[in-house]
Structure 1
Amino acid sequence: MRRTLPWRALGAAGAVGLLIAGVPRLTGAQPNPWQTLVLLRGIALVGALGLAFLLDDPARHVTAAVPTRRPVRQALRAALVAPLVALWWTAVLLLAPPASRPPAAGITLEAAVTCVFALAGAAAAVRLRDEPRPGPGVAAALLVSAALAPLLAPESWALFVPSADERWAAAHDRWAVLLVVAVVGWGVCGPEPVARRRRRATAARAAGGAG
């Protein structure tokens, strides 16, 4: 399974994220807290765009017939990259200017929500379509959603607040709710539809009988 992972997309996203995080140190810039927060949110989105390709599998129609259920295969893929993602995000936080770095727990929660939504979107695309490489479409949808979210979110549900804002703690309670929603959505979209499973099982038996 490790060889089927989209390492190029993941590596490119990781490299771009680290490069962006290192720009202030490379240039000697001293961004203010809001600028650093926006920078880290952008890097989290870059990482999520890489994870949008995690469920791409050129051999999807072959692996669909294996005994291991699809949610387990998806979970294994996520487990293989999770340590690398954690190390990458730790490096990003360490590269961010310490004087203007937002609270690590809060911004890490935001990054986790963004990444899990990318995985949930990929799982939904796999469930609803037979496309073996849904990553590009999921990444595009994620970009559009990220652009529209700050504009469409109601004021009472403010999410993208500055770290010094008194609403920071309340906003991250909402981010925690979104994390639960994303995890549940991924879980719901994980299993293959029953009708499709039956069609493939019937086709496999027919192919076996013909052989």
Structure 2
Amino acid sequence: MTVTTRALLTPVLRTLPWRALAAGGAAGLLLAGIPRLLSGAPDPWLGLLALRGAALALALGLAFLLDDPARHITSAVPVRRPLRVGLRVALAAPWAALCWTAALFLVPEEVRPPVGALTLEAVATAVFALSAAALVVRRSTVTEPGVAVSAWLLSTAAAAFLLLPDGWALLVTPDDPRWTDTHERWAMLLTVALVVGSRACVEPLRTGLRFRPF
């Protein structure tokens, strides 16, 4: 760890949107705990739905990770954007991993869907949220993209559930013959989101064209 990185850890940690992150984590854990709260035999479909809801809630919290009201001040410091964004992600990642692990254990084992496949969905959804926030930061002067990104993520999730044709379905049950093919698509989407997000974190060479009056 470089001297610059160590010097930035405490300031970045203090400026993280902990309220939004905590709200997303709490909502995710609440959703994951629903199968245990209901009386009667656990329902596998409900367990799957609860974990997908938890993954979406966690991603909604992460959508606020790049919110920085002091963005236009910190952009002038001699530390490039990839490092600033990378530190935020690195500090939030253990929290997100802990919340997701707790959500998995909250769902009763007998109705818990395949952990690896659901974790892939959760990671892809989170990376989508972070990549969208990075794109907004790169393409605009917005200091708090979280609200817009979370609204976009909710609408995208609804579209994936309601509008995608059967051949492109992303939300299927484990007993569906399309389960493996679906998660191959999830893996491809995760790769695309990682590439787009990484590219969005690179500071543009020019902030815009300046025209001189004649």
| TM-score, normalised with respect to structure 1 | 0.89
Q: Could you report, residue by residue, the CA deviation over 1:1-35 in whole angstroms, capped at 9, with x for unpaired residues? A: 10000000000111111112122223335342222
Q: How many residues of Structure 1 are paired with residues of Structure 2 in the alignment?
A: 199
**Residue number among 46, 53, 64 corresponding to 1:53 in the alignment:** 64
Bigger CA drift: 171-180 or 15-24?
Answer: 15-24
1: CA distance between counterparts of 2:172 and 2:26?
27
Q: Does 1:168 align with 2:179?
A: yes
Q: CA deviation at 1:152?
A: 3.1
Query: What corresponds to 1:3 in structure 2?
Result: 14
Q: Does 1:32 align with 2:8?
A: no
Unmatched tracts of structure 2, length 5 or more: 1-11
2: CA distance between counterparts of 1:28 and 1:150?
27
Query: What corresponds to 1:205 in structure 2?
Result: none
Residue pair 1:33, 1:163 contacting (<8 A) in 2 also: no
Q: What percentage of residue pairs aligned between the two structures are identical?
A: 56
- Correspondence list, 1:14-33, <5 A: 14-33=25-44
Query: What corresponds to 2:166 in structure 1?
Result: 155
Higher relative contact order (CA 8 A, sep 6+): 1
Q: Aligned to 1:170, what secondary structure does the other structure show? A: helix
- Correspondence list, 1:1-211, <5 A: 1-196=12-207
Unmatched tracts of structure 1, length 5 or more: 200-211
| TM-score, normalised with respect to structure 2 | 0.88
2: CA distance between counterparts of 1:146 and 1:170?
19
Q: Return the structure number with greater helix share.
A: 1
